[in-house]
Amino acid sequence: MLFIFVRGIIFTILALSLTRALAAETEVTVLMFNEQDSQNEPPYISRILLSRDFLRLDDGENHGNFALFDRKTGSIYSVSHEDQRTLVIPLQPVLAVPPRPLRHDVEELDAEGVPDVEGKKVSRYYMFTNGTRCMEVYAVPGFHDDATRALAAFARTLAGQHAKSVAAMPDQAGADCDLANNVFEPDRYLSKGFPVRQKDYAGRTRFLINIKEKVIIDSSVFELPEGYERFMPGVVSK
């Protein structure tokens, strides 16, 4: 009887251990991009890990610096391991008003022979503000809509923070595009579907390399490091 009792305890411990191990994994969509900040700078690889609750942006390394978007609260956390600090950007409304009228237009163009993506047509768009072309987007409607929604929500949280500096934005070339892309129309580049290729007014480019669905990874990649100082933009740490 003692052997049966001990065996039962061991089985229970193993079962609990297995449950914890399974709970430590999560299913994600992995999106890989090639990005370039300008023609004078080298391109680099970026990665998005998308789960039901989170969106993580990084350089493809699980242990490097990263930005984490909480899809439930709308907050962004930008983690720097070197500084052991976490920048916190909460969801907040855009309360600023444009310093001048902004007129937004969209023009659809020929996709120049870009092949279909998973059987879905790619469409090409120019997005203008006050007559200036602010964004060129190759979009695929109906392609990974959940990723499109998550990226749009992420952009709106950033816009709430950027709105606080509208008054300080210089009135120079590209200023109207800056206001549109970063504050007043932050998610318009996602309005026509998932952007498989994009280029903004400053020459920054990003194009999709690969998407993998239902990838099982360690859920710790969506956890914030313990013990790091948390701070908010414009708030002096004590």
Domain parsing of the chain, residue ranges = 2-28+49-91+215-231, 104-214
Residue 18 burial class via C-beta count within 10 angstroms: exposed 0-12, middle 13-18, buried 19 and up: exposed
Report which residue type is found at 202.
Answer: A
Burial 20-56 (b: 16+ CB within 10 A, else e): eeeeeebebbbbebeebeeeeeeeeeebbbbbeebbb
Residues 215-225: what's their mean pLDDT?
Answer: 96
**pLDDT, position 221:** 96
pLDDT at 193 over 90: yes
Task: Evaluate whether 206 touches 48 at the Cβ level (below 8 Å).
Answer: no
**φ, ψ for residue 187 (rounded to 5)?**
-110, 15
Side by side, the strands of the sheet bearing 205-218 are: 104-109, 123-129, 132-140, 194-200, 205-218, 25-36, 44-50, 54-58, 66-70, 76-80, 85-89, 229-231
Identify the pLDDT of residue 4: 44
pLDDT at 113: 87
Burial class of residue 152, CB neighbours in 10 A (0-12, 13-18, 19+): middle
Residue with tokens 């390394």: 61
The lowest-confidence range among 18-22, 73-77, 140-144 is 18-22
For residues 28 and 50, is the Cβ–Cβ distance under 8 A? yes
Measure the N-to-C terminal CA separation of the chain; round to a whole number of Å: 62
Q: How many C-alpha atoms does 71 have within 13 Å on its Cβ side?
A: 16
pLDDT at 171: 67
Would you say how long the chain is, in residues?
238
* Phi, psi (deg, nearest 5) at residue 14: -65, -40
> What is the H or E stretch that residue 128 is in?
strand 123-129
Average pLDDT, the chain: 89
Q: Is pLDDT above 60 for 135?
A: yes
Rounded CA-CA distance 198/196 in Å is 7
What pTM did the predictor assign? 0.86
Task: Choose among 225, 220, 224, 196: nearest CA to 210.
Answer: 196
User: What share of the chain has pLDDT > 70, as a percent?
Assistant: 86
127 in Cβ contact with 188 (< 8 Å)? yes
Distance CA 216, CA 26 (A): 6
Mean pLDDT is lowest, of 11-20, 147-156, 162-171, for 11-20
What percent of the residues of the chain are helix, what percent strand, and what percent coil, each to the nearest 5? 25, 35, 35
Task: Evaluate whether 134 touches 210 at the Cβ level (below 8 Å).
Answer: no
Query: What does the pLDDT look like over 8-44, one tens digit per residue?
Result: 443 443 344 434 444 589 999 999 999 999 989 999 9
